[in-house]
Amino acid sequence: MKTIMIILSLTFAFSAFAKDCEKQVLKQFIEASQDYDYHSLSNKPVLHPAGEEGFESYGRYVELGYDFDVVSYTGSNEYMSGYGAYELIVNPKTCEIIKMQEVYAE
């Protein structure tokens, strides 16, 4: 029973940290693209282990190659009648966006 309580406590703590980090990432994304009207994070964070070379998003390759774990979020925004999607690469320890790459635009 004690083990289950410890695991649940850690799960809730990580979940709360992840939510707080998500809010920080969205705030940074909004600040980086102030000219746009609508901003959102449209997927759950994906953990990429240290050394992973990259991944594809919307048919575009997003290069990684960091020597530490990173998390990616897909951010989207709108400007007039246009739409853009970005991969936001985040340092999970600091919640700072370290790379923002456009992967789709119309």
Task: Going residue by residue through the chain, which has 106 residues, state the pLDDT in tens, using 9 for 90 and above.
Answer: 665 544 444 343 344 445 689 999 999 988 888 777 778 888 789 999 999 999 999 999 999 999 999 999 999 988 888 888 999 999 999 999 999 999 999 8
pTM: 0.78
Range of the domain at 13: 2-105
Q: How far apart (Å, rounded) are the C-alpha atoms in residues 89 and 101?
A: 8
Number of domains in the chain: 1
Residues 85, 26, 19, 66, CA torsion sign: positive
Residues 6+ apart with CB under 8 A from 51: 65, 66, 67
Helix (H, G, I), strand (E, B) or coil at 25: helix
Q: How far apart (Å, rounded) are the C-alpha atoms in residues 51 and 70?
A: 10
The residues pairing with 30 across neighbouring beta strands, listed in sequence order, are none
